């Protein structure tokens, strides 16, 4: 049997296939989406993927079926996710709803101002008395099909006189119910004391409204009277554990996998550490693309292992998993070029702050985590600020932007030596034990040693491994610039190289 298979970063068990000596026809054990496995004589499954194509090859002498299989990670592209709401911290998603204004046409909706600004939701009072029916209202509409169960808020009243209703949040599934106070309507009081607070409905709803209403006539506000909210983050009806100001990427990946990629087992993901403050989608997106978006905060390897087990692991580039010597039979090492040394001692992050709506720039002067003071960096030895600018493509929180800058800095400064290593037959682990070479997988590390057994450099990260069952050769790509792991990180590296050679 002609069998080939491989592993790849951000996929795990990757593309592979085999040729079977079978006649064309319907085989009960062979069909599209079936699982193709490579199993050792000891019964260990070292690779599996799902059948994507069956090709029949028939001539006068033989019958063959070519089986092509792709990564089970492609299951995360079978069905797009419906619009969803985990946490929406973007104040600009609140609005003055025209439909609601028309429903309230019997009220005076002009005397009190309502504004959605980059920093706050603001209600302003005129400098004269308003009618007792005056009202201004702002509404959050959840993504289509999604619902919000609570809103995390912070705000204050400034010179609001008597005769105005206390702050509140109204929840409803129908816009008209916000006006009538019937049907799906539910009201939760709000305390505006410049403290982080939460208003939670008993049932998740599609609309949330907050308003400033007069309930008497004749009260004259003083100048500058207003009510404002500097935070109004809506929380979806998903049941995940709130970490205070957001959710863990690992929890959201597991939750979305259970809904939209149920054939993957995401029940034991390694918990992530960074709290994601903003995760909402008003359109369709594949689960895999959503996971990549979340992974920009972690820089981990998303992979599907045998058993359709989804993993979310840190890259360990320090621990040696495999060792090869240049004088070992069947080993060939080819580098694409010389090793790259540490090149920058800081990054400048430009992004749109999701909490304020403003374009923001953070430098190492503002945030020490965006600097690397290692004396091994040449710029540090000469007292030079060699800072790399990066632009985040999506709105983000300040902490998220800093976290991403840290990952870019670490990636830029990791010593790399892209290349390919071919290994025929067997490979040694760190302890010196021999294993068949097909056990090498993405995310592992390989240490190349000279003829004396001395390291020729640092451990190399395995990006991809392709194994040919006929020749028993494993072709290992190391320290490559991944097409999938994080396109922006690779773009930063490429752009920097371009600038350096101009």
DSSP letter string, 436-480: EGGG--TT-EEEEE-TTS-BSSSPEEEEEEEEETTTTEEEEEES-
Q: Are 236 and 87 in contact (CB under 8 A)?
A: yes
Query: pLDDT band at 501, cuts 50/70/90?
Result: very low
3-state secondary structure (DSSP) of residue 428: strand
Topology of the domain comprising 322-338+416-478: Elongation Factor Tu (Ef-tu); domain 3 (2.40.30)
Q: Does the structure show a pLDDT above 70 at 481?
A: no
Query: pLDDT band at 222, cuts 50/70/90?
Result: confident
Instruction: Look up residue 133 and give its two tokens.
Output: 């029916």
Q: Determine phi and psi for 19, rounding to 5 degrees.
A: -120, 125
User: Average model confidence (pLDDT) for the chain?
Assistant: 89
- pLDDT of res. 339: 60
Q: What angle do CA 468, 470, 475 make, to 5 degrees?
A: 25
- pLDDT of res. 495: 52
Mean per-residue pLDDT, 11-36: 89
> For the chain, what percent of residues have pLDDT higher than 90?
66
d(Cα 24, Cα 26) in Å, to the nearest integer? 7
Query: pLDDT band at 492, cuts 50/70/90?
Result: low
d(Cα 104, Cα 117) in Å, to the nearest integer? 23
Domain boundaries, the chain: 2-73, 85-236, 247-313, 322-338+416-478, 346-414
Burial state string for 76-100 with b = 16 or more CB within 10 A and e = fewer than 16: beeeebebbbbbbbbbebbeebeeb
Query: pLDDT band at 303, cuts 50/70/90?
Result: very high
- The bridge status of strand 473-478 relative to strand 419-424 is antiparallel
E strands, 251-292, are 275-276, 279-281
Give the H or E element holding residue 260: helix 249-260
Give the H or E element holding residue 229: strand 226-236
Query: pLDDT band at 502, cuts 50/70/90?
Result: very low
Per residue in 287-296, pLDDT (tens digit) is 999 999 999 8
- pLDDT of res. 498: 47
Q: Does the structure show a pLDDT above 90 at 493?
A: no
51-55, 89-93, 164-168, 477-481: range with lowest mean pLDDT: 477-481
- pLDDT of res. 420: 95
- pLDDT, greater one: 176 or 107: 176
Q: Does the structure show a pLDDT above 90 at 74?
A: yes
Instruction: Look up residue 361 and give its two tokens.
Output: 């720039």
- The bridge status of strand 113-116 relative to strand 94-95 is unpaired
Least Cα distance to 476 among 432, 438, 449, 434 occurs for 438
Mean per-residue pLDDT, 261-290: 95
User: Could you tell me what percentage of the chain is helix, strand and coil, using 3-state DSSP and rounding each to the nearest 5?
Assistant: 15, 40, 45
Q: Are 73 and 288 in contact (CB under 8 A)?
A: yes
- pLDDT of res. 463: 95
- pLDDT, greater one: 261 or 418: 261
Instruction: Look up residue 453 and give its two tokens.
Output: 């057994």
Give the H or E element holding residue 258: helix 249-260
- pLDDT of res. 108: 60
Which stretch, 41-45, 343-347, 495-499, has highest mean pLDDT?
Answer: 41-45
Q: Does the structure show a pLDDT above 50 at 484?
A: no
3-state secondary structure (DSSP) of residue 152: strand
Q: Does the structure show a pLDDT above 50 at 500?
A: no
The C-alpha torsion from 78 through 84 and 86 to 87, rounded to 10°, is 140
Q: Tokens 């040693």: give the residue.
A: 449
Residue 123 CA neighbour count, 13 Å, CB half: 31
- pLDDT of res. 179: 87
- pLDDT, greater one: 14 or 491: 14
Mean per-residue pLDDT, 143-164: 94
Using a 10 angstrom Cβ sphere, with 0-12 exposed, 13-18 middle and 19 or more buried, the burial of residue 246 is buried
Mean per-residue pLDDT, 19-45: 88
Mean per-residue pLDDT, 14-27: 86
> For the chain, what percent of residues have pLDDT higher than 70?
92
Q: Determine phi and psi for 490, rounding to 5 degrees.
A: -65, -35
CATH architecture, domain 85-236: Sandwich (2.60)
């Amino acid at each position: 049997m002609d069998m080939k298979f491989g592993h790849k970063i951000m996929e795990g068990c990757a593309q592979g296939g085999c040729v079977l000596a079978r006649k064309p026809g319907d085989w009960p054990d062979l069909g599209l989406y079936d699982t193709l496995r490579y199993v050792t004589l000891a019964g260990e499954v070292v690779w599996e993927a799902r059948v994507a194509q069956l090709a029949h090859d028939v001539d006068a002498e033989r019958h063959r079926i070519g089986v092509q299989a792709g990564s089970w990670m492609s299951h995360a592209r079978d069905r797009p996710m419906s619009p969803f709401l985990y946490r929406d911290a973007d104040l600009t998603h609140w609005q003055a709803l025209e439909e609601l204004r028309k429903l309230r046409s019997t009220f005076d909706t002009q005397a009190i101002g309502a504004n959605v600004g980059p920093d706050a939701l603001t209600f302003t009072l005129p400098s004269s008395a308003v009618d007792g029916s005056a009202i201004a209202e702002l509404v959050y509409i959840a993504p289509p099909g999604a619902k919000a169960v609570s809103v995390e808020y912070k705000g204050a009243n400034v010179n609001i006189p008597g005769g105005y209703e206390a702050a509140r949040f109204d929840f409803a599934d129908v816009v008209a119910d916000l006006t009538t106070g019937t049907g799906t309507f539910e009201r939760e009081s709000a305390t505006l004391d410049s403290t982080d607070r939460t208003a939670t409905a008993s049932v998740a709803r599609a609309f949330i409204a907050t308003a400033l209403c007069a309930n008497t006539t004749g009260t004259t506000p003083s100048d500058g009277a207003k009510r404002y909210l500097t935070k109004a983050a809506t929380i979806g009806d998903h049941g995940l554990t709130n970490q205070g100001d957001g959710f863990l990427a690992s929890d959201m990946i597991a939750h979305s996998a259970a809904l939209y990629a149920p054939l993957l087992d995401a029940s034991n993901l390694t918990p992530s550490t960074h709290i994601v403050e903003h995760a909402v989608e008003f359109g369709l997106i594949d689960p895999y693309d959503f996971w990549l978006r979340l992974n920009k905060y972690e820089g981990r390897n998303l992979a599907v292992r045998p058993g359709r087990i989804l993993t979310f692991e840190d890259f360990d580039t320090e621990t040696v998993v495999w060792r090869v010597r240049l004088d070992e039979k069947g080993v060939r090492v080819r580098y694409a070029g010389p090793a790259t040394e540490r090149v920058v001692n800081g990054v400048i992050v430009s992004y749109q702050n999701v909490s304020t709506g403003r374009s923001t720039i953070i430098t190492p002067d503002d945030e020490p985590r965006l600097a690397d003071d290692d004396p091994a960096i040449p710029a540090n030895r000469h007292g030079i600020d060699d800072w790399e600018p990066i632009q985040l493509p999506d709105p983000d929180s300040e902490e998220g932007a800093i976290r991403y800058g840290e990952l870019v800095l670490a990636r830029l400064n990791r010593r790399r030596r892209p290349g390919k290593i071919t290994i025929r037959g067997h490979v040694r682990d760190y302890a010196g034990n021999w294993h068949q070479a097909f056990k090498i997988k993405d995310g592992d590390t390989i240490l190349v040693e000279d003829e004396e057994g001395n390291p020729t450099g640092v451990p190399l990260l395995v990006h991809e491994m392709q194994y040919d069952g006929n020749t028993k050769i494993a072709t290992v790509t190391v320290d490559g610039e991944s097409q999938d792991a994080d396109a922006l990180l690779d773009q930063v590296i490429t752009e920097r190289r371009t600038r350096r050679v101009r």
